[in-house]
C-alpha cells in the first residue's frame, strides 16, 4: 500500500499515543485553533458565520494550520464542531453571535427518538473534505487528529437543545425513560463510529472522542449512559489509516477522573484527563507497566495558568511534567507515556505569547527530564 | 448548664454526624427551603427581594420551616446566602431578578486585597437573629444547621464579582499573584470561623462549610487554596453549642471526590459528596472503622432523579443506600454512618411530591436494611 501523503516528519505524538519512547513530551492544545488567535478571528469574519467556517474545507484547513505557524505543536486537530452529527440528523444546528450552539429541533419524546437514524454520511462530506484538505496541506509536518462528540455528549445537546448548566431535560429523560435514552444512544454510537471511520478514510491519523458532559452524570449512570456507548464506538473503529499506519484513539471525559479505573478497560490508546486529576495517581491507575498494556495519559494543565507570567507558566508546566514523572524511555519496548495538553479547551482570552511559552517549556523541560 | 431550648425530639441527624447508630438513615436536602415550594415563592414575594428575605429573621425563619411542614426531614438548615460575609466586608451584594448574585465592588488587585478585614459581626446580626429565631421556632423538632461558604468559594465571587463558568479572573489572580490570594483567603478563613462561631452561639446545632467551587481548581491548587483554608476555619470552630452539646461540622466540596483521601485529614465530622462519587468507595476511603475514627458521609443522589416517577425515585434511593451499605448499628460504639442528601442543591423545577416520595423512601428502605 503506497500512501498518497508525504512522510511524517514529526511522529512524537503518534509514538506517545502508542506508548513508545519519545525524545520529549509531545504537546498540543484542545481548541488550539480558535478565538484567542487574531488570524482565526480574521478568517472567521471572512466566513461570515461559525457554520460557514466549519463547512468550508478550505477555511477549516486555514484555521487548523494557523496555530502551527505560530507554535511548534506536535499535532494538528481538525477544525470542526462536536455537533455536526446531530446537525446531519436533521436537528438544525446554529450559532447565535456571542452564544453557544442551538438546535432548531429538540429530542424529548418517544416520537422524536423513534425518528433518529444514523445520518447519511454524504451530509458530512464537508468534514471529510476538510480532513483530506488539511492532511494534504500539512504535508507530513505533524499528524492530524479527527474527532467527534461522545454519544452521551451529543444526546445532552439534542435533548436540551443547547448548552445547559443542570442538564435537567436530558437527565429527566434518562431517569424517567431509560429505554428511550438507550435507543437514542445506540443510534448515536453507530453514527459516531461511522463518522470517525470516514474521517480515518479521509486521512485522519488519530481520532478523539470528546465526552465533554460525561462528568455531569452520577456514578452508575455514567457507566451505563456514557461509558458503555463510548465503548461501543471504540469497538467499531478502524485501527488502520489510509497510509497503512495504526490510528490511535483518545477518549476525554471532562470531570471523569473518579472513573479512570473503569475507563482503563476502554479499547482506546489514550485517556485525556482534566486538571483535577493528579497525573501520578492516574499513571498508577491506568498507565500500565513497561512491556505491558496500558493507556497513555493526555493532559492536564489548567488553561487559566496561561493568564500568568512566563516564569509562572514555566513553573506550572514543570509541576505537571513532574507529576507524571519520567515517561518510558526504552525504545526497544513500550511503557507509560504522556501527551501534554490543557485540561480543557483554551480560553478565548489567552494571550498567544503565553502559548508560545508553554509549548517551549514543555519541550525543554521534558527533554531535560530525560537526560 | 441549662439550655434555654426545648429538648431535641429527633436526634437522628446529630447522632449520624457523630458516627452513632440510628434506627434509619436521616435525610435533609441542600436548598430544601427554596423556589420549588410555592409557599417559599409567596414569602419571597412578600419580602420584595431575595436580600429582603435573607435579612429578615422572621421571614428567614418562616421559609426555613416550610419544608418541615411538608416532609419529615431530619434537619433544618438556616435560610441565608453564602455571600453574606463578603457583603458585610463592604462589597455590596445584590440579586438581580432572574440572575445570580452580584457584587458592586470586585477584589482584583493589591490595593483591594489590602483593604479586606474580618467584618464587624454586628453587620451580620440579622443572620444570628435568624438562627436564634429558627432554633426557638423549631422547638426541638429537629436540629438546626448553620452554614457559610468556604474561603475559596467566597474568594471566587469576590474576584469575579458574580458567578462564572471559567473562574478566569480568580484563577488568573491565583496563578499570577499567589501571595495576594493567600492574603485574601487568610482574612476570609478568619471571617468564616468567627461567623460560624457566632451562629453556634446563636443556637446552631451543626455547621456546614459549602466549598461550592473547590472542584473548579486543579489538583495541587485545590490543596493549597481551598483545603488549607477550610482546615483553618475548622480548627477555630467551637465544638460545643449553647446547650452544652457537641456541634458537628460538615464540609462539602462540589466536584471534590478525587480529593476525598486528603479531605479525610480534615478536623470535621461529616464530608458531603456529590453524585459522581461512589459511596461504597468513599466509605472505604474516609468512613473509618467501628470504634475508630472516620467521617460520616453525606449525600449524594442526583437532584435530577426527582424529575422521574415515584417508582424510579424509590429505585434510585435504594441504589444510593445500597452503595453506602449497611451503616453502623451497634449502639455501644461508633462506626461508619450515612446522612442522605442530594449531591447538590434541589432544582427550582422539582415537583414537591417527588420530595415526599424521596424522604419516605429513604426512611422506609433504610429501616428495612437494618432489619
Buried b (16+ CB within 10 A) or exposed e, B279-299: beebbebbbbeeeeebbbbbb
Distance of alpha carbon A150 from alpha carbon A251, whole angstroms: 9
Which 3 state secondary structure label does DSSP give B182? helix
> What's the CA gap between B59 and B40, in Å, rounded?
10
For CA atoms A199, A201, A205, A209, give the dihedral sign.
positive
**Which of the following is catalytic: B35, B125, B141, B236?**
B35
User: Which of B115, B56, B110, B54 lies closest to B82, judged by CA?
Assistant: B54
Q: Name chain B contacts of A278, Cβ cutoff 8 Å.
A: 219-220, 258
The string of pLDDT tens digits covering residues A62-101 is 999 999 999 999 999 999 999 999 999 999 999 887 778 9
According to DSSP, the β-strands at A144-149 and B206-211 are unpaired
Per-residue cell: B112? 483591594
Is A51 within 8 Å of A93 (Cβ atoms)? Answer: yes
User: Which three three-digit cell numbers place residue A245?
Assistant: 499506519
- Compute the average pLDDT of residues A300-319: 97
Summarised one tens digit per residue, pLDDT across range B150-183 is 999 999 999 999 989 899 999 999 999 999 999 9
B94 close to A (CB below 8 A): no
Arithmetic mean of pLDDT over chain B: 96
Active site residue A31: yes
Q: What's the Cα-to-Cα distance from B333 to each of A108, B329, B346, rounded to whole Å?
A: 51, 9, 34
Report how far apart the first and last C-alpha atoms of chain B are (Å, whole number). 38
A265 in Cβ contact with A285 (< 8 Å): no
With an 8 Å Cβ cutoff, is B321 touching chain A?
no
Closest CA to B270 of B10, B20, B71, B34: B20
What pLDDT, on the 0 to 100 scale, is given for residue B2? 60
Instruction: Please state whether beta strands A101-103 and A93-95 pair in parallel, antiparallel, or not at all (unpaired).
Output: antiparallel
Give the count of Cβ contacts less than 8 A between chain A and B.
104
Catalytic residue among A44, A102, A108, A135: A44
- Told to judge if B157 belongs to the known catalytic residues of this protein, a careful annotator would answer yes
Average pLDDT over residues B267-284: 98
Q: Write the CB contacts of A16 (distance below 8 Å, at least 6 apart in sequence).
A: A22, A25, A26, A296, A327, A337, A338, A339
| Helix/strand/coil (H/E/C) assignment for every residue in B254-290 | CCCHHHHHHHCCCCCCEEECCCCCCHHHHHHHHCCCC
Tell me if A362 sits within 8 A of A340, measured CB to CB.
yes
Q: For residue A61, what are the contacts with CB-CB under 8 A and spacing of at least 6?
A: A79, A130, A133, A134, A137
Model pLDDT for residues A224-240, shown as the tens digit of each residue: 999 999 999 999 999 99
| Residue bearing cell 509541576 | A319
Phi-psi region of A127 (alpha: psi -120 to 50; beta: other; left: phi over 0): alpha
Provide, as residue numbers in chain B, all residues whose Cβ is less than 8 Å from the Cβ of A349: 168
The residues with which B250 forms a beta bridge, in sequence order, are B208, B270
Out of B172, B218, B222, name the one closest to residue A343 (CB). B218
Interface membership of B318 toward A (CB under 8 Å): no
Cis check for the bond before A300: say yes or no (omega within 30 of 0). Answer: yes
B31 — phi, psi (to 5°)?
A: 65, 35
Q: How far is CA B120 from CA A234, B87, B88, B151, B358, in A?
A: 59, 11, 7, 17, 41
| B255 and chain A in contact, CB less than 8 A | yes
Confidence at residue A2, expressed as pLDDT on a 0 to 100 scale? 60
A257 touching chain B per CB within 8 A: yes
Q: Is the pLDDT of residue B310 over 80?
A: yes
pLDDT of A1 above 60 = no
Q: Chain B residues with CB inside 8 Å of A343's CB? A: 218
How far is the C-alpha of A104 from the C-alpha of A66, rounded, in Å? Answer: 32
Q: Which of B345, B354, B337 minimizes the C-alpha distance to B283?
A: B337
Alpha helices of chain B — where are they, by DSSP H?
12-17, 38-47, 50-54, 57-70, 84-86, 110-114, 125-138, 151-160, 168-176, 178-202, 221, 228-235, 260-263, 279-286, 310-324, 352-370
CA gap A223, B366 in Å, rounded: 25
Neighbour tally for A255: CB within 10 Å: 24
The values of phi and psi at residue A249, to 5°, are -120, 145
Which of A6, A31, A240 is CA-nearest to residue A138?
Answer: A6
Quote the CA–CA distance of A198 and A265 in Å, as a whole number: 25
List Cβ neighbours of A349 (8 Å cut-off, separation of 6 or more).
A36, A307, B168
Task: Round to whole Å and give the CA distance between A211 and A217.
Answer: 11
User: Residue B263 and residue B365: Cα distance in Å, rounded?
Assistant: 29
**Whether residue A18 has pLDDT greater than 70:** yes
| DSSP category for residue A121 | G
Element at A314 (helix H, strand E): helix A310-324
Helix, strand, coil share (%) of chain A residues, nearest 5: 50, 10, 40
pLDDT(B1) > 60 = no
Q: Is B347 on the interface with A (CB under 8 A)?
A: yes
ipTM: 0.95
- For B253, counting Cβ atoms within 10 Å of its Cβ (0-12 exposed, 13-18 middle, 19+ buried), the class is buried
C-alpha cell at B153: 468559594
Residue B91: DSSP 8-state: I
Distance CA A362, CA A314 (A): 8
Whether B234 has a pLDDT exceeding 90, the answer reads yes
Q: Where are the beta strands (DSSP E) in A79-224?
A: 93-95, 101-103, 144-149, 206-211
Which whole number is the average pLDDT over A196-222?
A: 98
pLDDT digits (tens, 9 = 90+) for A123-176: 999 999 999 999 999 999 999 999 999 999 999 999 999 989 899 999 999 999
Average pLDDT along chain A: 96
DSSP structure class, residue B105: S
Asked if the model's pLDDT at residue B105 lies above 80, the reply is yes
Distance CA B238, CA B196 (A): 9
Computed over its alpha carbons, how large is the radius of gyration of chain B? 20
- Kindly report the nearest CA distance between residue A173 and chain B, in angstroms: 8
Name chain A contacts of B304, Cβ cutoff 8 Å. Answer: 166-168, 171-172, 174-175
Mean pLDDT of B195-214: 98
Closest by CA to B268, choosing from B211, B212, B220, B353, is: B211
Q: What percentage of chain A has pLDDT greater than the value 70?
A: 99
Length of chain A: 371
Closest CA to A311 of B108, B167, B176: B176
Euclidean distance between CA atoms A205 and A146, whole angstroms = 7
User: What is the C-alpha separation between B277 and B256, in angstroms, rounded?
Assistant: 9
Q: Does residue A176 have a cis bond before it (omega within 30 degrees)?
A: no
Q: Is B302 on the interface with A (CB under 8 A)?
A: yes
Q: Do A258 and B278 touch (CB under 8 A)?
A: yes
pTM: 0.96
* pLDDT, tens digit, 9 for 90 and up, residues A255-288: 999 999 999 999 999 999 999 999 999 999 999 9
Q: Which pLDDT belongs to residue B312? A: 97
Residue found by looking up cell 462561631 in the block = B197
CA B164 vs CA A25, A323, B106, B168: distances in Å: 33, 28, 13, 8
Q: How far is CA B251 from the centre of its chain?
A: 7
Cα gap B354→A105, rounded to integer Å: 29
Q: Is the pLDDT of residue B98 over 80?
A: no
Taking contacts as CB-CB distances below 8 angstroms, the residues of chain A near B277 are 219, 258
Amino acid at each position: 500500500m503506497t500512501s498518497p501523503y508525504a512522510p511524517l516528519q514529526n511522529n512524537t505524538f503518534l509514538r506517545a499515543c502508542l506508548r513508545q519512547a519519545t525524545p520529549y513530551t509531545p504537546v498540543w492544545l484542545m481548541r488550539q485553533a480558535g478565538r484567542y488567535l487574531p488570524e482565526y478571528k480574521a478568517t472567521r469574519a471572512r466566513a461570515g458565520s461559525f457554520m460557514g467556517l466549519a463547512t468550508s474545507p478550505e477555511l477549516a484547513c486555514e484555521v487548523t494550520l494557523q496555530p502551527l505557524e505560530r507554535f511548534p505543536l506536535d499535532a494538528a486537530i481538525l477544525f470542526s464542531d462536536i455537533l455536526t452529527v446531530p446537525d446531519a440528523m436533521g436537528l438544525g444546528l446554529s450559532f447565535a453571535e456571542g452564544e453557544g450552539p442551538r438546535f432548531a429541533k429538540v429530542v424529548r419524546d418517544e416520537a422524536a427518538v423513534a425518528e433518529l437514524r444514523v445520518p447519511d454520511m454524504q451530509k458530512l462530506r464537508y468534514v471529510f473534505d476538510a480532513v483530506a484538505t488539511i492532511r494534504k496541506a500539512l504535508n507530513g509536518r505533524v499528524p492530524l487528529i479527527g474527532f467527534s462528540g461522545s454519544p452521551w455528549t451529543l444526546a445532552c445537546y439534542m435533548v436540551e437543545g443547547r448548552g445547559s448548566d443542570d442538564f435537567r431535560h436530558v437527565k429527566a429523560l434518562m431517569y424517567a425513560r431509560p429505554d428511550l435514552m438507550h435507543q437514542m444512544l445506540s443510534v448515536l454510537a453507530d453514527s459516531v463510529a461511522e463518522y470517525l471511520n470516514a474521517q480515518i478514510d479521509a486521512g485522519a491519523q488519530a481520532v478523539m472522542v470528546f465526552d465533554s458532559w460525561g462528568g455531569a452524570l452520577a456514578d452508575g449512570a455514567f457507566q451505563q449512559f456514557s461509558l458503555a456507548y463510548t465503548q461501543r464506538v471504540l469497538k467499531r473503529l478502524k485501527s488502520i489509516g489510509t497510509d497503512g499506519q495504526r490510528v490511535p484513539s483518545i477518549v476525554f471525559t471532562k470531570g471523569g477522573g473518579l472513573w479512570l479505573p473503569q475507563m482503563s478497560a476502554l479499547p482506546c490508546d489514550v485517556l485525556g484527563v482534566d486538571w483535577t486529576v493528579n497525573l501520578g495517581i492516574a499513571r498508577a491507575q491506568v498507565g500500565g507497566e513497561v512491556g505491558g498494556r496500558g493507556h497513555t495519559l493526555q493532559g492536564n494543565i489548567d488553561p487559566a495558568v496561561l493568564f500568568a507570567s512566563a516564569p509562572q507558566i514555566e513553573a506550572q508546566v514543570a509541576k505537571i511534567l513532574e507529576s507524571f514523572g519520567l515517561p518510558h524511555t526504552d525504545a526497544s519496548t513500550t511503557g507509560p507515556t504522556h501527551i501534554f495538553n490543557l485540561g480543557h479547551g483554551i480560553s478565548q482570552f489567552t494571550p498567544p505569547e503565553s502559548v508560545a511559552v508553554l509549548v517551549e517549556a514543555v519541550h525543554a523541560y521534558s527533554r531535560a527530564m530525560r537526560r
